[in-house]
């Protein structure tokens, strides 16, 4: 007996894992995605392939579902807003609009008296010239960036000409933090002061793409507590419903900075499928569908390794795993360089 149908915008691996979690809760999933080959079609109950601005298909989708969420933040705001008139969209569209714009996102975080990297808006090449103080830095597109896409590291002002930057887009320039570590905190908020929060996860990136995550993070108790407190403040201030991830930097002096907020389930939380009584995916489905909130409990420590590009081949060909190892293949049709193809979780 299925009671609820959850619509999910976006059909990548996060959509797949949300669908698997939903199935366990007897929630039916319909995925809407603009990619014909979206891997989540292998896991959901129904798949709709259309563009995110295709009004007719969007209405058809809304008619079929009870509640709508998204696994990908770069959905046009107008689409979320239209959908929200027909069925409830959670997290609410205004949250997505704020967070999908790096400048608005950072302004919001600073207003909460939470530290971010130093940043400045850049609209054209000339804007960068007086900004020596922000170098070495990273120029980032204000919207549509992920996995390091739309980012240009800049050490010196003379490099700007060589980079061939498309100034039809908007950017921010961020001062580079001398990183000691990166961590993330995942929280699922069900309502006012009602949330489940995972402990900080320690992350390692390669070429700006997440490569490795582990719990426990090797950090002091002050950073452990501060990162959780900041994640709670952000979720409460946004009146967020669902799972959210806050990515943090820790510099060489143990200062904590918020890097960015992901208004969705997050790659660093894949290990929660195997380490906790309730995964980040199940918690998201529980929160957006108003299902029961269950007290979170960690059962294992673990590490997770992202299988990027051809890394997947070895496991596809010979998935010889120990009892404490869990291999996930996202079933993407094409192997591409820098593309997340699967992951391996190893319980400790
Ligand atoms: P994306 O939206 O692509 O995840 P991020 O802003 O999180 O973009 O950047 C990806 C990664 O690049 C970060 O996790 C970090 O490793 C590195 N990075 C980004 N900005 C900075 C910065 N200001 N200082 C140091 N490292 C950074
Ligand atoms: Mg990031």
Cα of 260 vs centre of ligand 2, distance in Å, is 6
Q: Which atom of ligand 1 is nearest to the CA of 145?
A: 2
- pLDDT given at position 139: 92
For the chain, the distance separating the N- and C-terminal CA atoms, rounded to the nearest angstrom, is 37
Q: Which ligand is nearest to the CA of 210?
A: 1
Is 174 touching ligand 1 by the criterion CB < 6 Å? Answer: yes
- pLDDT given at position 6: 98
pLDDT in tens, 249-288: 999 999 999 999 999 999 999 999 999 999 999 999 999 9
Contacts for 320 with CB less than 8 Å, ≥ 6 apart = none
Mutate to test the pocket of ligand 1, among 106, 208, 264 (most ligand atoms within 8 A of CB): 208
Q: Residues of 92-102 as b/e, b for ≥16 C-beta within 10 angstroms?
A: bbebbbbbbbb
| CATH entry, 4-89, from 1.20.20.10, 3.40.190.10, 3.40.50.20, 3.40.109.10 | 3.40.50.20
- pLDDT given at position 1: 52
> Going by CA atoms, what residue is nearest to atom 22 of ligand 1?
176
Q: Is the pLDDT of residue 289 over 70?
A: yes
Alpha-carbon 328 to chain mean position: 18
- pLDDT given at position 318: 79
Whether the link from the prior residue into 136 is cis, omega within 30° of 0, is: yes
Mean pLDDT of the 239-256 span: 98
> Going by CA atoms, what residue is nearest to atom 11 of ligand 1?
208
246 in Cβ contact with 231 (< 8 Å): yes
Mean pLDDT of the 329-335 span: 96
21 in Cβ contact with 286 (< 8 Å): no
Where in the chain are the domains? Answer: 4-89, 118-175, 179-347
Rounded to the nearest 10°, the torsion over CA 58, 63, 64, 69 is 60
* Closest by CA position to 6, among listed 77, 14, 241, 26: 26
pLDDT in tens, 34-69: 999 999 999 999 999 999 999 999 999 999 999 999
Q: Which ligand is nearest to the CA of 179?
A: 1
pLDDT in tens, 180-236: 999 999 999 999 999 999 999 999 999 889 999 999 999 999 999 999 999 999 999
Say whether 118-175 and 4-89 share the same fold.
no
- pLDDT given at position 47: 98
Q: Is the pLDDT of residue 104 over 80?
A: yes
Cα of 124 vs centre of ligand 2, distance in Å, is 24
Yes or no: domain 179-347 corresponds to CATH 3.30.470.20: yes
- pLDDT given at position 110: 98
Is 179 touching ligand 1 by the criterion CB < 6 Å? Answer: yes
CATH code for 118-175?
3.30.1490.20
Mean pLDDT of the 314-320 span: 86
Cα of 263 vs centre of ligand 2, distance in Å, is 12
Question: DSSP alpha helices (H): ranges in the chain?
Answer: 13-24, 55-64, 77-86, 93-99, 102-111, 125-128, 159-162, 221-237, 272-275, 280-288, 311-317
> Going by CA atoms, what residue is nearest to atom 12 of ligand 1?
208
> Going by CA atoms, what residue is nearest to atom 13 of ligand 1?
208
Measured CA to CA, the distance from residue 94 to residue 152 in angstroms comes to 28
Q: Is the pLDDT of residue 161 over 70?
A: yes
Q: Which atom of ligand 1 is nearest to the CA of 178?
A: 25
pTM above 0.85, yes or no: yes
pLDDT in tens, 7-31: 999 999 999 999 999 999 999 999 9
Q: Is the pLDDT of residue 2 over 60?
A: no
To the nearest 10 degrees (0 to 180), the angle between helices 13-24 and 280-288 is 70
* Closest by CA position to 300, among listed 198, 190, 181: 198
Q: How far is CA 35 from CA 10, 247, 304, in A?
A: 9, 27, 27
Instruction: Report DSSP state, residue 124.
Output: S
pLDDT in tens, 109-125: 999 999 999 999 998 88
Q: Which ligand is nearest to the CA of 149?
A: 1
Q: Phi and psi dihedrals of 86, rounded to 5? A: -95, -45
Is 14 touching ligand 1 by the criterion CB < 6 Å? Answer: no
């Amino acid at each position: 007996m299925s009671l609820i149908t959850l619509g999910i915008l976006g059909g990548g691996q996060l959509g797949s894992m949300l669908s698997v979690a939903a199935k366990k809760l007897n929630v039916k999933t319909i995925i809407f995605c603009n990619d014909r080959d979206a891997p989540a079609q292998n896991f959901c109950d129904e798949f709709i392939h259309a563009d995110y601005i295709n009004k007719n298909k969007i209405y058809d989708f809304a008619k079929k579902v009870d509640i709508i969420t998204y696994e990908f933040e770069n959905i046009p705001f107008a689409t979320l807003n239209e959908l929200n008139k027909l069925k409830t969209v959670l997290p609410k569209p205004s949250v997505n609009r704020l967070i999908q714009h790096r400048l608005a996102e950072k302004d919001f975080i600073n207003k909460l008296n939470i530290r971010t990297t130093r940043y400045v808006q850049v609209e054209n090449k000339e804007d960068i010239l007086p900004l020596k103080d922000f170098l070495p830095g990273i120029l980032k597109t204000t919207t549509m960036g992920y996995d390091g896409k739309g980012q240009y590291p800049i050490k010196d002002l003379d490099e700007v000409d060589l980079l061939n930057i498309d100034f039809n887009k908007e950017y921010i320039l961020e001062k580079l933090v001398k990183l000691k570590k990166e961590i993330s905190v995942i929280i699922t908020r069900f309502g006012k002061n009602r949330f489940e929060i995972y402990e900080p996860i320690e992350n390692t990136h390669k070429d700006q793409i997440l490569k490795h995550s582990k719990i426990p993070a090797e950090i002091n108790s002050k950073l452990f507590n501060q990162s959780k407190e900041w994640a709670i403040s952000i979720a409460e201030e946004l009146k967020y419903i669902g799972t959210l991830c806050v990515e943090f930097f820790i510099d060489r002096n143990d200062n904590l900075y918020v890097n960015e907020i992901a208004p969705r389930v997050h790659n660093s939380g894949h290990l929660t499928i195997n380490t906790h009584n309730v995964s980040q995916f199940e918690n998201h489905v529980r929160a957006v569908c108003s299902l029961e909130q269950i007290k979170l409990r960690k059962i294992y420590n673990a590490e997770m390794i992202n299988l990027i590009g051809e890394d997947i081949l070895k496991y596809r060909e010979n998935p010889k795993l120990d009892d404490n190892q869990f291999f996930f293949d996202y079933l993407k049709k094409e192997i591409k360089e820098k593309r997340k193809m699967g992951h391996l979780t190893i319980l400790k």
